[in-house]
Amino acid sequence: MRRAVVASAALFALLLPLAGAGATRITVYAAASLTQVFPRIDHAPRYSFAGSDQLAAQIRAGAPAAVFASASPKQTELLYHDGLLRKPVVFATNKLIVIVPRSNPAHVHSVYDLRRHGVKVIVGTPTVPVGAYTQRVLDSLGITRDVTANVVDQEPDVKSIVAKIALGQGDAGFVYKTDARTAPGKVKSISIPASGQPNVRYGICLAAASSHKTAAHAFVSKVLGPRGQRILRRYGFLPRTAKR
């Protein structure tokens, strides 16, 4: 009996690597605002979360991404037209909001309060989607000059903005609505008027040069499928065709 157990264990040890050999673990490059939700949709891929512009630059430089999910169609469309990505599709939408520290020391209650002298505002860099969307908000509401004068920091991704506001290193910051949920009890959300709300769309696509297209396509199908869409809603993202 003991010999049989030992023999079975040895056989299992030999077969285990073979069982995993057929599995393809792809690398997914995704916007920082997807950090919480994508692993819930599929925990198998290797994820690289960062600002969409940073990830796009890495893909252009030859990074081994199989899938790219951006917080703006701009990055995916540019890479698609250059032949580096397959045609992108929108998989979710979002809204921009203002967040303030829970204690709200600057007494910010409206996006228009950010015009007051001395209010410390944190935004995304102009090249990252959240930074570009913020600029559209300011331009649409006619408050660009006054708010820009109060900007004390520009961050490379939305997670960094949330972290700094949660720590009280700024009085207010522009982030996606979904990101406020990542710092419960540490920040308060302030809505942006509909007239200033940008059209925040997330695009996803396969890398043209990837050698794992089947696995990459399966991942995209999970994101676009009913279960993936339900999980995105659960984390606060809006439908692909949400009305603005």
Domain membership of residue 7 (yes or no) is no
Note the pLDDT of residue 240.
87
Q: Which residue has the higher pLDDT, 241 or 171?
A: 171
Same domain as 103, residue 191: yes
Same domain as 44, residue 121: no
Domain boundaries, position 176:
96-196
Domain membership of residue 29 (yes or no) is yes
pLDDT at residue 1 is higher than 70? no
Total domains in the chain come to 2
Domain membership of residue 66 (yes or no) is yes
Query: Within a 10 A sphere around the Cβ of 136, how many other Cβ atoms?
Result: 15
Note the pLDDT of residue 24.
79
Judge whether 170 and 177 are in contact, CB under 8 Å.
no
CATH of the domain at 130: 3.40.190.10
Note the pLDDT of residue 7.
43
pLDDT in tens, 120-139: 999 999 999 999 999 999 99
> What average pLDDT does this structure show over 40-46?
97
Task: Output the pTM of the full model.
Answer: 0.85
Same domain as 55, residue 42: yes
Q: Decide the pairing of beta strands 27-31 and 67-70.
A: parallel
Domain membership of residue 106 (yes or no) is yes
Judge whether 37 and 231 are in contact, CB under 8 Å.
yes
Average pLDDT value over all residues in the chain? 91
Note the pLDDT of residue 23.
60
Note the pLDDT of residue 125.
97
Note the pLDDT of residue 11.
38
pLDDT at residue 9 is higher than 60? no
Same domain as 187, residue 104: yes
Percent of the chain with pLDDT over 70: 89
Percent of the chain with pLDDT over 90: 87
DSSP letters spanning 53-82: HHHHHHHHTT---SEEEESSHHHHHHHHHT
Name 89's bridge partners. Answer: 204
pLDDT in tens, 77-101: 999 999 999 999 999 999 999 999 9
> What average pLDDT does this structure show over 180-205?
95
